[in-house]
Structure formats: C-alpha cells, structure tokens
A = this chain, B = another copy of it.
C-alpha cells in the first residue's frame, strides 16, 4: 500500500511519535488552595448515596468512561477514519439513539434478543439502536431517497456478555460508510474494500487481511448441499462462528441444535474449509455442485469482477475469498467481508491481544425496501469500522510504552511572581482569549511562581507570560519559553502579536 495523504499521515505520525517518546520525569503539581467557601452551607437537601446500603459507584455493566487521555487517542483514530470517508465523498448523517421498536424487529436474526428496549413509560415503544445500518435504511425509505453516500459515527448498544479483554462492550462506537443506489455491479463494493485498506493502513495497525464471500454463494451452497430453505439463516449464523469455535463444534450445533442431517453438514464442511484468491473463485465455477445454482454462479461472477477492480486499486493481495465467512446479520444479500489483523502490533514479549475482526460489511439490497410503503428497493453496500477494538490495541500500545500524552492544547500560561496581581492576570488572559490564543492561569488569588511554572511543565504548556510590579511599571510583559527557560521583555501592546508569531513558528 502506498502511504496515505501527507497531512493526515503527519498528524497520526505525530501522535505515534508522542506515544513512542519516553515518559517525562514526574513533576510536582501545583498546590491545591483552600477555598474560604469550601465549608459554605449547601442548600441541597438530598440524601447522599453513601448513606444508602449496597451502593456501588460504577458505570453500567459493559460500559465505560473515556478519560481525557483516552479521548485524545480516540479523537486521533476517529480523525483518520472520518478523513478517509470524506476523501471518498461521503456526506455526514446522524439519527436518534433510539428507534421505534418495530423498526428493529426482524432485522438481526438470532441476535435480536440483544436489543436494549426502553421501559414503557406511556407513548411509543422504543429500542436503542443496535447498529447504524438499519437506521440508515429507515432514513433512506422515510425520505424516499434513491441514492446516497453517507458516513455515520455514533454509539450503538447490544446486551452482549462483554469480554472486555477483547475490546467488546455493551456500548460501543461504530464508524459506518455506506453507498446506497442502483449502480453498475461491484464498483461501490470495491470502493468499500479500498476504504477498509486505507483506514487500516493509515492507522498503522500492522498487517491485515480481508476475508470476502457472498451470501448468494453461501445460499447456493446450502441449497445444493441439501439444507432446507427455512434453515438458511440459522445455518448461516452457525457458519459465522467458525472464526471463534472449531468446525466440530459448529457441526454439532448444526446437527444437534438446528436439526441438519449429518451428511448435509459434512457436505458443507468440505466447502467452508476453502479459502484462496481469484483462482479459487475460478475453481468454484467448475464445482459440480455449486454450478447447479444460479445464485451461486451470480455470486461467483460478481466476486470475479470484484477481484478485477481490487487489482486495479492495488489491493488484491490483501483480499481472501473465504467460503467460511458468513456474517451474523440477517440483512446481507450479496458480497460480505471482514478484516482481521494478522498480528497484534505489540512487542514480542507482550501477550498478543486477540481483537477479532476490526472492520466488516457487505451488500444489503433488501433492507431499504422493507421500510418502503411500496416495497421499492434501494441496493446498498457498506462497511463498519470496529473502532473499539482498534482503540484497545492503541491503548495497550500506550500502556506498554508508559506513555504520557497532552490532554489539553493550552499554548500560554499567565503567571505572576507577586501577590495581589490577580486583576492584571485576569485583564491579560482576557486579551489572549479574545485573540484566539489558548491560555490558562491558576484559580488562586496569590499563587507561588514555582507552582505556576511547575503547572506548565506538568501539563506541557510551551509559553508563559509573566506580569509583576516591575513589568507593570515598565509597560512590558515577560515572555518565557518553558523548554529553554529563556525570558524576554515584550512591550505590553505587542505581546499578542509576539505570541502569535511564536506559535506560528512552533
């Protein structure tokens, strides 16, 4: 893969650079001034939680807060992803966190039990969205749109049993890109795979692979192997577990739980162990069983075309045709794909992080039509980036290297070496803010100079402006570089311009 765009690449490289720097020596923080109002009478007449029995201070199961450190990394990751979506001409869209319950009914197959319902408090029955795809299809149908290329970054909720170690949560962020519209075959599908490659490359997550299959090939395989049509989706869902459990266990589920004849299961078993490139697609065209199925042949034809486009995009070597790839969700109708990292990018001595798939998607040509009053279909294809898992990887990398990253962007600190200079500090900082300069001061009437300078070192603020009696008398402000400790006196009326000049240079 060639490198991504310079500007994005630089921003990300800067973060990674920061992540790789050795941690700064710990500095003492500023003292915490005691407020004269700390003991002021509080009017609140509420019962504190600590007086209640068995009160536990926590976030709900499977959810978490994001600390400022985590937010910085998160924003950088989302920036790489959203920049890529915009590079491909996508528009933004947002939908509510919950939908009418019936909108989500019968869209997710076996996983429907994981949907969070809201309590019936009168009025409509509501559920938290389970993904961003069904709300997108609902939006397309509701607004009678025939085509749209949109991205959506938002939280979704699933009542799964979370395995936090794998980066799975009950509340998690999805980053979706979808192309809706009736276009010539496989061009949008190829672009989706290109986008996954660009994002995973841009995030520097190490080597990866995208497994590709087609629901029509799966269905054709099921039909010609002897699976009753009523069991297609259930068997599909079993096959989807092959990356987590063994074929033996999947076979057992299909036969014992889902009532499939053992010989049918074995026929399927022969196929789902196949994976390869374009040559496997061509080989499957000759398969005596599959070539009986019109659906399977259509799927194979599209995959062949897809590989042609992927070669033109220069990413064919990242793609693997894998007959075991099924994807769990009911709404897929054509090509499906899933990206997996080939190794966790952790140092050798670290336990590798099992992150599963980091991106996935596929074609769902029937979903919008389900919402359309006249059943009008709008073909769609899309992808979703598993940003929580990516975030887990980067976070582990940070922990490994004992990173410290700046959580604020403050450029200038307003300090004084003397008592009774709060008024001057407030006047000065207001000037800086009004000029668009990011500035802070300590919320103390008479802070010590050392405390103020330590605060700058501790939080990474590069510049300090200092005002005291001497400066006030001479009509100047002292400008200090925290790194070099150099100080120069600048005329008061030039201080904003001088700071802006320094910030442009840095």
Residues of A with Cβ closer than 8 Å to B? 1-9, 32-38, 40-50, 52, 55, 57-61, 63-68, 71-72, 74-75, 86-100, 102, 106-107, 116-121, 123-124, 126, 128, 138-139, 141-143, 146-147, 150, 155, 157, 159, 171, 179, 181-185, 187-188, 190-191, 194, 198, 215-216, 219, 229-230, 232-233, 295, 298, 302, 309, 312-314, 330-331, 333-334, 365-367, 369-375, 377, 379, 407-410, 422-423, 426-427, 430, 433-440, 443-445
Contact = CB atoms under 8 A, between A and B. Distances in A.
A439 B313 CA distance: 14
Listed from nearest, the 3 A-B pairs whose CB atoms lie closest are A5-B436, A183-B443, A68-B91
Contacts of A41: 216, 295
A72 B372 CA distance: 27
Nearest to A39: B377
Contact of A66 (B47, B93, B295): B93
30 contacts: A3-B434, A5-B435, A9-B436, A32-B181, A35-B183, A40-B334, A43-B295, A45-B232, A46-B106, A46-B330, A46-B366, A48-B375, A57-B138, A57-B142, A60-B99, A60-B126, A66-B92, A74-B94, A87-B438, A88-B433, A88-B440, A89-B408, A89-B438, A89-B439, A90-B408, A92-B407, A97-B171, A118-B119, A184-B443, A187-B426
Secondary structure dominating the interface of A = loop
Contacts of A64: 96
Given A121-B117, A219-B43, A330-B46, A59 B99 contact: yes
Given A120-B119, A312-B423, A438-B87, A65 B139 contact: yes
Contacts of A171: 96-98
A302 B123 CA distance: 46
A87 B436 contact: yes
A311 to B, nearest CB: 9
Contacts of A141: 57
A146 B366 CA distance: 54
B408 A86 contact: yes
